[in-house]
């Protein structure tokens, strides 16, 4: 690691209440939005590691509101949890380290927001579930996360990204992109466009339920990909839910659905061989056992009735976002080649079709997990 970067990270980390002596720092993780580093500090009891992150102000224009949400959620979870495991401290919640002025962030000379948290030892995150224990561990962790935030006291969390999950508006954006067609790409993806349009009637289920009050607004993570859960390296049990930038009001159905989307599929998100895209029922069953075992009693009747449709709905939404970005010239998602977003879209739509084909069996699994 370069001396220059070490000096920079040492200077930044001193802006936070981190005890001990700075030893080293390095880039960490594979995220594409925030700049993330892991730093080590020596204390009387040995080395302790922390995460430093620069929040991407272009993607998240209200970092102060994001950090206010994260602090409230983390403090509430801390009040309900205990430290787990032996050896180094390992919290089961995101343990923020305050800045020296007590705020949950520090602003550098360029106006960028930085935050710090304790690095959670002996854990890992996975992109694709390889065995049911991983699916069950992630499901339990996210079910517990939802359950423990049901009684978060007011006021309402800040809605830092309005309409983040609003499937009908995602469809409207797609239709506008098709109409404008600035790069002349629409002609080459008519079957994909028709796939989305043919499912228009079911896209408003959650949004309409929230508006009518038949579905409750919840405190939600809103980005519950499998890799946003840290799993124990030995047991694969869910330890901690991370990446809380999108924690805000929403529907638990989108959270459950996104976990289903990212767990049942053995293929990576930009897989070009669509025959590999599947809905693995054994992973869905393990996920449901974990999630509904932790959160099932906190769900309303209306939420339970829509659990089976949640996976296809959020998968369709993401596919439409990829397709919209492709038609608009790949201005949002990072791409490695010209058809990258179209490939991503087709993978998601293939997964939608797979989940629709297995809907009856998925419903049986949900019922078994809810009513055993």
Check if the beta carbon of residue 139 is closer than 8 Å to that of residue 295: no
Write down the pLDDT at residue 251.
98
| Structure-block tokens of residue 213 | 């009050």
Residue 194 phi, psi (nearest 5): -65, -35
Q: Is the CB of residue 265 less than 8 Å from the CB of residue 278? A: yes
Most distant pair of Cα atoms in the chain: their distance: 65
Place of tokens 């995220």: 31
Tokens of 29: 């993780």
pTM of the model: 0.91
User: Which residues in the chain are classed under CATH 3.90.1200.10?
Assistant: 132-371
Residue owning tokens 């038609």: 327
What per-residue confidence (pLDDT) applies to 91?
73
Query: Are 106 and 114 spatial neighbours (Cβ–Cβ below 8 Å)?
Result: yes
Pairing status of strand 248-250 against strand 106-107? unpaired
Q: Please list the residues that pair with 250 across neighbouring strands.
A: 218
Which residue spans of the chain are classified as CATH 3.30.200.20?
3-121
- Residue of 105, 122, 74 lying closest to 242 (CA atoms): 74
pLDDT tens, N- to C-terminus, the chain (372 residues): 578 899 999 999 999 999 999 999 999 977 667 899 999 999 888 899 999 999 998 888 999 999 999 999 999 999 886 544 444 456 778 899 999 999 999 999 999 999 999 999 999 999 999 999 999 999 999 999 999 999 999 999 999 998 999 999 999 999 999 999 999 999 999 999 999 999 999 999 999 999 999 999 999 999 999 999 999 999 999 999 999 999 999 999 999 999 999 999 999 999 999 999 999 999 999 999 999 999 999 999 999 999 999 999 999 999 999 999 999 999 888 899 999 999 999 999 999 999 999 999 999 999 999 986
Q: Does domain 3-121 have CATH number 3.40.30.10?
A: no
Using the structure block, give the residue that is written with the tokens 């009387």: 44
Enter the CATH code of domain 132-371.
3.90.1200.10
8 A C-beta contact, residue 22 and residue 39: yes
Predicted pLDDT of residue 268 = 93
Tell me what pLDDT residue 288 has: 98
pLDDT of 92 reads 79
């Amino acid at each position: 690691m370069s001396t220059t970067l070490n000096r920079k990270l040492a200077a930044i980390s001193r802006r936070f209440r981190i005890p001990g002596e700075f030893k080293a720092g390095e880039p960490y993780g594979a995220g594409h939005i925030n700049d993330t580093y892991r730093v080590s500090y020596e204390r009387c009891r040995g080395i302790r590691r922390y995460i430093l992150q620069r929040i991407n102000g272009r993607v998240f224009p209200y970092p102060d509101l994001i950090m206010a949400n994260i602090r409230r959620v983390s403090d509430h979870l801390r009040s309900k949890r205990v430290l787990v495991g032996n050896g180094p401290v390992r919290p089961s919640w995101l343990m923020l380290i305050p800045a020296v002025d007590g705020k949950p962030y520090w602003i550098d000379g360029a106006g960028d927001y930085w935050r710090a948290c304790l690095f959670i030892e002996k854990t890992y995150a996975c992109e694709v579930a390889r065995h049911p224990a991983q699916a069950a561990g992630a499901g339990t962790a996210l079910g517990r996360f939802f359950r423990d935030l049901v009684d978060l006291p007011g006021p309402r969390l800040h809605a830092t990204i309005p309409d983040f999950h609003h499937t009908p508006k995602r469809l409207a954006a797609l239709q506008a992109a098709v109409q404008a067609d600035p790069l002349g790409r629409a002609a080459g993806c008519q079957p994909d466009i028709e796939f989305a349009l043919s499912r228009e009637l079911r896209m408003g289920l959650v949004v309409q339920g929230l508006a009518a009050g038949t579905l409750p607004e919840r405190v939600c993570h809103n980005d519950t990909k499998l890799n946003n859960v840290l799993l124990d390296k030995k047991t694969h049990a869910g330890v901690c839910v991370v990446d809380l930038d999108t924690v805000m009001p929403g529907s638990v159905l989108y959270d459950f659905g996104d976990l289903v989307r990212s767990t049942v599929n053995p293929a990576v998100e930009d897989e070009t061989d669509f025959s590999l895209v599947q809905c693995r029922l054994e992973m869905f069953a393990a996920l449901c056992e974990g999630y509904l075992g932790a959160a099932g009693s906190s769900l309303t009747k209306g939420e339970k009735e829509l659990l089976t449709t949640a996976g296809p709905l959020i998968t369709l939404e993401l596919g439409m976002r990829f397709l919209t970005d492709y038609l608009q010239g790949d201005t949002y998602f990072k791409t490695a080649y010209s058809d990258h977003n179209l490939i991503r879209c087709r993978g998601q739509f293939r997964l939608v079709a797979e989940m629709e084909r297995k809907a009856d069996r998925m419903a049986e699994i949900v019922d078994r997990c809810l009513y055993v």
